[in-house]
């Protein structure tokens, strides 16, 4: 009896134990799960996301995302210490750390004209700039590869500018503000006449974000006032054999910080601005009380969008390209905030050494770079997300609103993945723009009436029209892209220099007017003691090397 | 015992010829107890001692991409680098200063609070005060720092009070002036932990024989005399044990509060050794230097702990070690 029972039960038990194993092995053959790390806080796409479904059907790939929670630099540090890499890694602004730690495979082993024609065609013109000394490529840039066009890629300026609430310009009857002095003078007059905003909250003349790496709001203005586009912490003199210097400790920088010192003592800059974090900054902007600031548009965009969502259109910002007067700069300055299009070196996905099927991932990237999939990435599905008329790609107002809506996107777009992947920008072969928000029809359709009237008062069509045309990109690209982590002394000097700036520039700005000069000298001495020259020398050398690589002389 | 021996035959130590007072003999006698402590020992070894193996990277130029032992040995180079950095020396100074402030405040205020609470005879009022004062202990530092930042900003409650009463003419820049930082940290610690820390003293005071108070009253002692001559000596041994323990933690000036509240402007006063290690190790990838800083901190902690213990022994108090 006992034996028969055992005979009956045993196979049953075995079968039960096998059960969970069975479907798993079937799935494994069907779809490969790819782990992805993205160095930005985002939402998970929904499980019924239509684009990810199409990707799974076509490529047999499923994606498991880890998005940033907390500090990117620390998160990557922990991952490196534990060699705990996802298959695809986007290290954002700290990708160099991953490269330095050997986290990525060399993509050049997989890229060739025959195997991956799309990728090859995509990177080929920029290989000199993209490959490192050993001829390796770890990341295919996510942005900055333009096809068929030389224009500035947007209708507004996404980068650096001095921003001012539109109502301030309207209040002063739409003046053309060109210089730093005019700008601060207008802020002073406006705040004197309007101590509070419409909601009765006190207006703050000028805000300066000084937190962590976003402290570029504090460091960067001087190079632009001197008439150069963004090169990061150094300014490069193209006409003087690419002479490189740290601009924030030069005499011409003093004019800017002296102006801020003046503004501080007039009560137009709040002391709290030096200790606020990014969230507090955005909250302040969203409340509509910040009259002006220096920033890059993408950094303040969330605040500006919040104002728009609250229909406080007159409190949204217009970027202004300000320069020094000839006396301040010591020479005649021409405004150059916009640079030629620049390939986004080392930003985007790399394939980590932990990935089991790198060749499949490269092939996936290759197929995604085809025109057919690029249309899907940028525009979506015809009839659902856009429509065609006379060969033009168009969207209705609702479709534009949807595409800007995060909740909609999580369900209907693979944005979280494709944002870090190689993309085509500029124009399709038939003259349509790849980016819907650059397609003029779509841009003007979504523009609100306040903005239209505002621009009309200036006789302009786009916010971009306040700026001069982009200058030709220097052969070295933009100097902030140069990877300093390869040289420990230079890197220490760069970080030390930034620490000195973050610590002492606020003190310079808050110093009593009669102590300003002494405080400034103290600051310059501290920067020189770092020594900042280690960093500048490294940059000078790298820039000259790059120029030689790219131009051949 | 004798019967057990008879039933199991000769015990193992006897068969091995070990003397009755040797370590192994005692161990055998307490084998059940010893066996029960094995998991704890394993745990401590695995998670507390074994990772110390990683300390060898402090003597290397460590790059995570290479296998551990293939990294270049540099001897004491990393330590030399540390002590040549004004930034690190500043971090050591800040750690000690804030720890000392925390240590002193951390004794004075809770003991005072406990003394006062001990004098209150209405239990309901006493309980309420106790609960209200220890509740902030359960708030996370993120929230506490958030509250502090709001209160201390130029438009915050404290500045409004100071300005409206005419004590200052302009709002004080509490969060951006380095010289305030240590004291802010001290006071915020008190705000958060004072009530919680007073519980243990209060418990020690309730253990004092009420007869002593009555006797003192008969001798004409007032409230303060009773506090001074009975309550305080009554918690003396509790105080000493806590003092020794806290001195061991002296290098733990705290991490979260400085990390959250230490903006760049006050960096020279806010950076502790832990933050220094985090900045260089995790943020800048200079793991060896960060570990060297950590080792320095551990060694100083151990030295402090043993000397406090030694001092307590000399004073004729109970010791921990």
| Residues A208, A244 within the same domain | yes
Lookup result for tokens 């120029």: A547
**pLDDT of res. A23:** 45
| Residues A37, A144 within the same domain | yes
Q: Are A101 and B281 a contacting pair at CB < 8 A?
A: no
User: How would residue A337 be classed by pLDDT, with cut points 50, 70 and 90?
Assistant: very high
| Residues A227, A316 within the same domain | yes
Q: Are A275 and B286 a contacting pair at CB < 8 A?
A: no
Instruction: Describe the crossing of helices A251-265 and A180-193 by its angle, rounded to 10 degrees.
Output: 0
Report pLDDT digits (tens) over B276-288: 998 888 888 888 9
Q: How far apart are CA B11 and CA B27, in angstroms?
A: 12
- Do residues A65 and A38 lie in contact, with contact meaning Cβ atoms separated by under 8 Å? yes
User: How would residue A338 be classed by pLDDT, with cut points 50, 70 and 90?
Assistant: very high
CATH of the domain at A65: 3.40.190.10
A155 inside domain:
no
Query: Has residue A537 got a pLDDT over 70?
Result: yes
**pLDDT of res. B119:** 87
Q: Are B176 and A81 a contacting pair at CB < 8 A?
A: no
A3 inside domain:
no
Residue A311 has which token pair?
């229909």
Three-state DSSP class for A86?
coil
Q: Nearest-CA residue of chain A relative to B171?
A: A271
| Residues A39, A64 within the same domain | yes
Residues contacting A327, CB < 8 A, separation 6+: none
Q: How many domains does chain A have?
A: 2
Query: Has residue B320 got a pLDDT over 60?
Result: no
Burial class (CB in 10 A: 0-12, 13-18, 19+), B20: exposed
- Do residues A538 and A286 lie in contact, with contact meaning Cβ atoms separated by under 8 Å? no
**pLDDT of res. B317:** 60
A185 inside domain:
yes
A362 inside domain:
yes
Contacts of residue B153 in chain A, CB cutoff 8 Å? 272
Q: Nearest C-alpha of chain A: how many angstroms from B182?
A: 16
The CATH class that applies to domain B80-314 reads: mainly alpha
Nearest by CB to residue A83, choosing from B64, B153, B283, is B64
Chosen domain end from A425, A459, A489 = A425
- Do residues A220 and A501 lie in contact, with contact meaning Cβ atoms separated by under 8 Å? no
Q: Which domain holds residue A348?
A: 32-148+343-425
* Mean of pLDDT over chain A: 91
| Residues A47, A119 within the same domain | yes
Average pLDDT of the residues in A500-509: 94
- Do residues A142 and A420 lie in contact, with contact meaning Cβ atoms separated by under 8 Å? yes
Report pLDDT digits (tens) over A255-290: 999 999 999 999 999 999 999 989 899 999 999 999
**CA max distance for chain A:** 107
Three-state DSSP class for A249?
helix
Chosen domain end from A425, A441, A465 = A425
Helix (H) or strand (E) holding A320: strand A317-320
Task: Please report the number of interchain residue pairs, chain A to chain B, with beta-carbon separation below 8 angstroms.
Answer: 65
Q: Are B63 and A101 a contacting pair at CB < 8 A?
A: yes
The bridge status of strand A61-67 relative to strand A317-320 is unpaired
| Residues A183, A300 within the same domain | yes
Q: Are A101 and B268 a contacting pair at CB < 8 A?
A: no
| Residues A186, A311 within the same domain | yes
Residue B315 has which token pair?
């004073």
Report pLDDT digits (tens) over B27-55: 888 889 989 999 999 999 999 999 898 89
**DSSP, res B227:** I
The bridge status of strand A425-426 relative to strand A146-147 is parallel
Q: Which residue has the higher pLDDT, A3 or B193?
A: B193
Least confident of A334-343, A519-528, B62-71: B62-71
**pLDDT of res. A3:** 54
Contacts of residue A272 in chain B, CB cutoff 8 Å? 153-155, 175
User: How would residue A184 be classed by pLDDT, with cut points 50, 70 and 90?
Assistant: very high
- Do residues A358 and A88 lie in contact, with contact meaning Cβ atoms separated by under 8 Å? no
Residue A358 has which token pair?
């790198």
Q: Nearest-CA residue of chain B relative to A529?
A: B86
Q: Are A73 and B263 a contacting pair at CB < 8 A?
A: no
Q: Which residue has the higher pLDDT, A336 or B250?
A: A336
**CA max distance for chain B:** 90
How far is CA A381 from each of CA A54, A221, A371, A372, B135, rounded to the nearest angstrom?
11, 42, 13, 11, 56
- Do residues A92 and A72 lie in contact, with contact meaning Cβ atoms separated by under 8 Å? yes
Residue B201 has which token pair?
């003293």
Average pLDDT of the residues in B64-84: 88
Report pLDDT digits (tens) over A287-298: 999 999 999 999
Q: Nearest-CA residue of chain A relative to B63?
A: A101
**pLDDT of res. A1:** 46
| Residues A36, A120 within the same domain | yes
A315 inside domain:
yes
Query: Has residue B254 got a pLDDT over 90?
Result: no
- Do residues A217 and A281 lie in contact, with contact meaning Cβ atoms separated by under 8 Å? no
Q: Are A77 and B263 a contacting pair at CB < 8 A?
A: no
Is residue A354 within 8 angstroms of chain B, CB to CB?
no
- Do residues A473 and A340 lie in contact, with contact meaning Cβ atoms separated by under 8 Å? yes
A71 inside domain:
yes
Average pLDDT of the residues in B259-264: 86
Residue A92 has which token pair?
């954002």
| Residues A117, A215 within the same domain | no
**pLDDT of res. B3:** 46
Nearest Cα neighbor of B120 from B30, B248, B231 is B231
- Do residues A311 and A447 lie in contact, with contact meaning Cβ atoms separated by under 8 Å? no
Residue A4: half-sphere exposure toward Cβ, Cα within 13 Å: 1
Average pLDDT of the residues in A138-153: 89
Q: Are B154 and A491 a contacting pair at CB < 8 A?
A: no
| Residues A404, A360 within the same domain | yes
Q: Are A275 and B176 a contacting pair at CB < 8 A?
A: yes
ipTM exceeding 0.95, yes/no: no
Residues contacting A30, CB < 8 A, separation 6+: A60
Sign of the Cα torsion B126, B129, B132, B134 reads negative
Report pLDDT digits (tens) over A36-93: 999 988 899 999 999 999 999 999 999 999 999 888 888 998 999 888 999 999 999 8
Residues contacting A161, CB < 8 A, separation 6+: A294, A295, A296, A297, A319, A320, A321, A337, A467
- CATH 1.10.3720.10 in chain B, residue ranges: 80-314
| Residues A358, A316 within the same domain | no
Residues of B with CB under 8 A from a CB of A: 63-65, 149, 153-155, 171, 173, 175-176, 263-265, 267-268, 278, 281-287
Average pLDDT of the residues in A335-349: 92
**pLDDT of res. A219:** 94
**pLDDT of res. A27:** 43
Report pLDDT digits (tens) over A206-257: 999 998 889 999 999 999 999 999 999 999 999 999 999 999 999 999 999 9
| Residues A311, A401 within the same domain | no
Report pLDDT digits (tens) over B108-132: 999 999 999 988 888 899 999 999 9
**pLDDT of res. B2:** 45
**pLDDT of res. A11:** 56
Average pLDDT of the residues in A388-405: 92
Helical segments of A201-265, H only: 216-219, 221-225, 251-265
Contacts of residue B63 in chain A, CB cutoff 8 Å? 101
Query: Has residue B70 got a pLDDT over 90?
Result: no
Residues 467-486 of A with CB under 8 A from B: 485
**pLDDT of res. B26:** 86
């Amino acid at each position: 009896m006992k034996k028969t029972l055992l005979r009956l039960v045993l196979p049953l038990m075995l079968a039960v134990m096998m059960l969970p194993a069975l479907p798993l092995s079937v799935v494994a053959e069907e779809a490969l799960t790819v782990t992805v790390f993205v160095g930005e806080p985002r939402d998970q796409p929904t499980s019924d996301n239509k684009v990810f479904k199409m990707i799974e059907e076509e490529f047999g790939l499923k994606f498991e995302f880890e998005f940033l929670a907390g500090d990117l630099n620390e998160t990557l540090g922990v991952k490196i210490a534990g060699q705990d890499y996802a298959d695809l890694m986007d290290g954002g602004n700290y990708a160099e750390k991953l490269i330095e730690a050997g986290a990525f495979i060399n993509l050049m082993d997989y890229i060739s004209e025959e195997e991956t024609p799309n990728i090859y065609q995509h990177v080929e013109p920029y290989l000199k700039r993209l490959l490192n000394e050993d001829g390796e490529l770890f990341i295919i840039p996510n942005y900055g590869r333009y096809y068929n066009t030389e224009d500035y890629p947007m209708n507004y300026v996404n980068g650096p500018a001095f921003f001012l609430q539109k109502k301030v310009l309207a209040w002063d009857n739409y003046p053309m503000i060109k210089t730093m002095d005019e700008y601060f003078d207008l802020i002073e007059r406006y705040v004197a006449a309007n101590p509070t905003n419409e909601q009765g909250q006190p207006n703050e003349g000028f805000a300066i974000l000084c937190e962590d790496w976003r402290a570029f709001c504090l460091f960067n203005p001087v190079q632009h006032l001197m008439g150069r586009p963004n090169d990061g912490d150094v300014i490069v003199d193209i006409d003087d054999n690419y002479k490189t210097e740290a601009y924030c400790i030069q005499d011409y920088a003093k004019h800017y910080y002296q102006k801020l010192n003046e503004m501080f003592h007039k009560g137009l800059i709040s002391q709290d601005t030096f200790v606020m974090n990014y969230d507090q900054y955005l909250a302040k902007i969203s409340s509509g009380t910040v009259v002006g600031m220096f920033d890059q548009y993408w950094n303040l965009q969330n605040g500006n969008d919040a104002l728009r969502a609250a229909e406080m259109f007159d409190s949204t910002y217009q970027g202004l390209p300000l320069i020094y007067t000839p006396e301040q700069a010591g020479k005649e300055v021409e405004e150059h905030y916009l640079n030629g299009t620049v390939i986004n070196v080392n930003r985007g996905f790399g394939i980590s050494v932990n990935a089991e099927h790198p060749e499949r991932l490269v092939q996936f990237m290759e197929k995604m770079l085809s025109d057919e999939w690029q249309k899907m990435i940028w525009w979506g599905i015809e009839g659902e997300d856009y429509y065609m008329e006379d060969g033009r790609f168009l969207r209705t107002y609702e479709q534009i609103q949807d595409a800007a809506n995060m909740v909609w996107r999580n369900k209907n777009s693979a944005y979280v993945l494709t944002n870090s992947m190689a993309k085509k920008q500029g124009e399709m072969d038939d003259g349509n723009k790849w980016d819907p928000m650059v397609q003029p029809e779509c841009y003007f359709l979504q523009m609100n009436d306040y903005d239209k009237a505002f621009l009309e008062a200036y006789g302009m069509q786009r916010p971009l029209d306040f700026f001069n045309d982009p200058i030709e990109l220097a052969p070295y690209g933009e100097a902030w892209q140069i990877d300093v982590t390869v040289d420990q002394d230079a890197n220490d000097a760069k970080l030390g220099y930034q620490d000195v700036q973050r610590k002492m520039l606020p003190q310079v700005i808050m110093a009593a007017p009669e102590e300003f000069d002494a405080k400034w000298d103290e600051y310059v001495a501290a920067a020189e003691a770092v020594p900042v020259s280690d960093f500048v020398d490294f940059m000078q050398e790298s820039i000259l090397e790059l120029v030689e690589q790219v131009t051949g002389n | 015992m004798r019967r057990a021996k008879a039933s199991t035959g000769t015990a193992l130590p006897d068969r091995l010829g070990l003397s009755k007072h040797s370590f192994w003999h005692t161990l055998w006698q307490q084998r059940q107890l010893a066996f029960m402590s094995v998991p704890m020992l394993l745990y401590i070894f695995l998670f507390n001692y074994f990772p110390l193996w990683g300390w060898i990277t402090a003597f290397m130029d460590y790059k995570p991409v290479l296998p551990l032992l293939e990294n270049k040995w540099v001897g004491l180079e990393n330590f030399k680098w540390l002590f040549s950095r004004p930034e690190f020396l500043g971090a050591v100074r800040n750690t000690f200063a804030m720890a000392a402030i925390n240590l002193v405040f951390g004794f004075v205020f809770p003991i005072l609070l406990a003394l006062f609470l001990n004098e209150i005879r209405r239990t309901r009022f006493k309980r309420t005060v106790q609960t209200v004062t220890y509740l902030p202990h359960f708030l996370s530092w993120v929230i506490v720092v958030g509250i502090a930042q709001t209160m201390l900003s130029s438009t915050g409650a404290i500045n409004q009070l100071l300005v409206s009463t005419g004590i200052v003419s302009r709002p004080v820049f509490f969060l951006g002036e380095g010289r305030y930082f240590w004291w802010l940290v001290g006071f915020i610690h008190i705000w958060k932990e004072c009530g919680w820390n007073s519980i243990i003293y209060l418990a020690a005071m309730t253990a004092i024989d009420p007869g002593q108070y009555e006797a003192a009253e008969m001798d004409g002692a007032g409230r303060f005399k009773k506090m001074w001559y009975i309550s305080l000596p009554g918690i003396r041994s509790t105080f000493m044990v806590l003092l020794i323990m806290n001195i061991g933690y002296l290098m733990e000036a705290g991490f979260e509060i400085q990390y959250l509240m230490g903006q760049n402007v006050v960096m020279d006063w806010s950076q502790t050794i832990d933050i220094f290690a985090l900045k260089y190790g995790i943020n800048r990838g200079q793991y060896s230097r960060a570990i060297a800083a950590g080792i320095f901190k551990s060694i100083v902690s151990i030295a402090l702990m043993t000397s406090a213990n030694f001092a307590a022994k000399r004073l004729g108090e109970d010791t921990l070690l």
